[in-house]
Chains A and B, each alone.
Chain A
Amino acid sequence: MSARDAVRLLAAAVLAALPCSAFAAAAIIGDAAAGATLAAACQACHGAQGEGLPTAGFPRLAGQSAVYLDKQLADYVSGSRANAVMAPLAKTLDAKKRADLAAHFASLSPPAAAGAAPADAQVLARGRLLARQGDEAKQLQACANCHGPDGRGESFAAPYLAGQSASYLTAAIGEWKSGARKNDGGRLMAEVAGRLDDADIAAVAAYFQSVGPLP
């Protein structure tokens, strides 16, 4: 267990004890070993170690927050995150299997997948500016406020972006913008995505890809 996971676990344990907690305690205590046997079905798209498949836009799952992964699977089922590929797959999983799978992927730490296309320096510079500082003219705050320094992820609710493929991030921001995805409670990402034009989406996606997976 990494130090980051330990913090997440602790935070989630506190939350789990809350009588009105909306977070599922099961996600944190999901059984990674049981998840590993289920994960065979995921490997074709998400890679043998959850490293993702940048050329096809399938995201990296390895080392992602278990609570976050579990919630995404539940949201594919509920439809608050619409996805033609993932929705039917998620519907085959009960709550325990979702948690086990989430715990499994959270435990992995392979190197970055090959095949991601690099971006040019100007694009990366714009992406870094948005990631770290934001853009006042667009009333757009830094990604780091929620997703952590250089997109390393914050606690359990805000996923890491560092090391995620640009192809996936571009698609994901597009889903927030189009409304295909509306599973973040305060409609924060819809607001942020709505203020990003195509060039900014490409820049920020390229930047987080270029950071690479963080420890």
Chain B
Amino acid sequence: MTQTMKAADVVIIGVGMVGSIIAKELAAAGYSVVGLERGEPRFTVPDFQGPGVHDELRFDIRKALMQDNTREAVTFRNVSSQTALPIRRWESFLPGTGLGGSQVHWNGQTYRFQEQDFVLASHVRERYGKDFLDPELRIQDWGVTYAELEPHYDRFEYLLGTGGKAGNLKGKIQPGGDPFESPRSREYPTRPMKEHYSGAMFRKAAGSLGYHPFPQPSSNLSEPYTNPEGLKLNTCVFCGFCERFACEHYAKAVPQTFILPVLLKNPNFELRTGCQVQRINLDSSKTKATGVTYIDTAGREFEQPASLVITSSFALNNVRMLLLSGVGKPYDPATGQGVVGRNYAYQTMSTVASFFDKDVIINPFMASGASGTLINDFAGENFDHSKLGFIGGSFIGAVNTNGRPINYHPVPPGTPAWGKGWKKAVADHYNHTVMFSVHGSSMAQQQNYLDLDPTYKDAWGQPLLRMTFEFPKNDLKMADYVTAKGVEIGKAMGAKQVVGAPAKGPYTVTKYQTTHNTGGTVMGADPSTSVVNKYLQAWDVPNVFVVGASNFPQNATWNPTDTVGALTYWAVDALKKYMKQPGKLVSA
């Protein structure tokens, strides 16, 4: 029997980064807000404390902080002619679970997208002509502009205490920063991280080739910081346990450090953990949500009525929630019709390994999640693509991160995969290798999409999400081109051997790449190609808002978190407007 809870103004599905920021703002505005989190409550003390938090086997290899895929997996296939199978061990991407969401185990890399990214389709048409694009691609404009999002990027970065060096302040190029970035209204709230030796080598080599190196923006803090919510973050100690781990030092910007203590004090907010939302409930007209139905850890079913439903449960889960609830028309790749699940994109990840002699000592174990030196010379639209036959790009950077003993063993090609030869190579190269991340954009194409799996179900009997994804040819061309540029930088650093590994198809879910899953509930100005409007409000059901990287029409060069944060504050303004005129589509 379903128990009906007291109605709330707002119910939020997923109390991670997006959910906790929105909840804080709406609760502070006087609305009653219920936050439903499927995972456990967890806090820096006691849950993230040493020495247990540095258990590499538990957190890195066995993925202790991730979505429990014995209960709720994702099925995968490369192309529609295959049968998708459930991913039984997360490798390619690592969706988190629990209070604070996936941000708890992030690396802290905090980039803005550029002006052109938000108007990509128009920009490409204008710059290269209407026939330039590979016809299989499905790129489109976001419906929102960089200028509209700038104040929200700013607010989000000041919430987190992001460290960096501005390259463009109100249109004036700043020495030491990224000259390609779109204008910022003010400097970063904190200084850049200290530069590693590998970063210094990269800066010198990239500079000698005429490129524009800059410090990687980091939300692992470079100095003590008090954010506008009055919460204090500490200085990162470069412990080397960042991505896949929680931070014991209050030094990584995560909901536990930048917003939850304020949110949880507000009596207008109620957090309920262990709540697995089954669906958003719609009334008979199918144009109005009445609340959500969830099951708690004891197996009891509840209905939570609410005037407004917000789903903020990670890109993949946002898509699945809409599909399970019948919000928006599911995408059909055969006809190109429908919108939910459309334009799933990812990130195109390549690497360059530069092997040095033993007199060059890198100390990869001294690491944070975001202490590197980068260039954006081959990112996004920062270079002319007219003769290259692809769009998009990658940043290239030497980033000291994750140099942990079980999972980090850079060895040159030809090294035996096991045994004495492998051990010797690991010992020879561990401390004398610089790894570049070549972190690239991912374009949407007609055949890549998300839908509900016809066969496999979760522990509650609901269909799993099915992912159909292959790297677009455009992106592989891009990866080849930019990785070759990275190899040139490695050579200019004086490495004795430089090995480029551009992304190659077929895409595999068995190898870690990145957790930057995007698209599926795309935002836009046209309801025939987007699920939500520019205010992240479902076209078909105006009292449902969907917020996350699932809103990206295609993925840009950089890590998505800063843009998700900017969209979150952008949505907050729209939500406040909506609450004054409920039931209607928000307008400017």
Contacts and interface: CB of A to CB of B under 8 A. Distances in A.
A185 B257 CA distance: 21
A141 B361 contact: no
A91 interface: no
Contact of B231 (A17, A19, A139, A146): A139
Contacts of A185: 235
Interface string B237-261: 1000000000011100000010001
A186 B45 contact: no
Interface stretch (B46-54, B337-345, B557-565): B46-54
Given A146-B237, A191-B232, A141 B44 contact: yes
B363 A188 contact: no
B223 interface: yes
A215 B200 CA distance: 40
Given A186-B223, A186-B236, A142 B197 contact: no
Nearest to B238: A186
A62 to B, nearest CB: 25
B122 interface: no
Given A134-B46, A149-B51, A188 B237 contact: yes
A201 B297 CA distance: 41
B422 interface: no
B45 A142 contact: yes
Contacts of A17: 359, 361
Interface in A132-147: 132-136, 139-142, 144-146
Contact of B197 (A19, A132, A134, A144): A19
Report the contact-size class of chain A (Cβ under 8 Å from the partner).
20 to 34
Given A186-B236, A187-B235, A191-B232, A139 B250 contact: yes
B250 A141 contact: yes
Given A139-B231, A145-B249, A14 B363 contact: yes
Contacts of A135: 45
Nearest to A132: B49
A191 B197 contact: no
B361 A14 contact: yes
A18 interface: yes
Nearest to A185: B235
Contacts of B200: 20
Nearest to B359: A17
Nearest to A15: B363
Contacts of A139: 44-45, 231-232, 250, 257, 261
A136 B46 contact: yes
Interface in B381-423: none
Contacts of B267: none
B234 interface: yes
B248 A142 contact: yes
Contact of A188 (B43, B49, B235, B361): B235
Interface of A: 14-15, 17-20, 132-136, 139-142, 144-146, 149, 185-188, 190-191
Given A139-B45, A141-B44, A186-B224, 11 more contacts: A20-B200, A132-B49, A134-B44, A134-B45, A134-B46, A140-B45, A141-B234, A144-B50, A186-B237, A188-B235, A188-B249
3 closest residue pairs by CB, A with B:
A186-B235, A134-B45, A136-B45
24 contacts: A17-B359, A17-B361, A133-B46, A133-B49, A136-B43, A139-B44, A139-B232, A139-B257, A141-B45, A141-B248, A141-B250, A142-B45, A142-B49, A142-B50, A144-B49, A145-B248, A146-B237, A186-B234, A187-B223, A187-B235, A188-B234, A188-B237, A191-B224, A191-B234
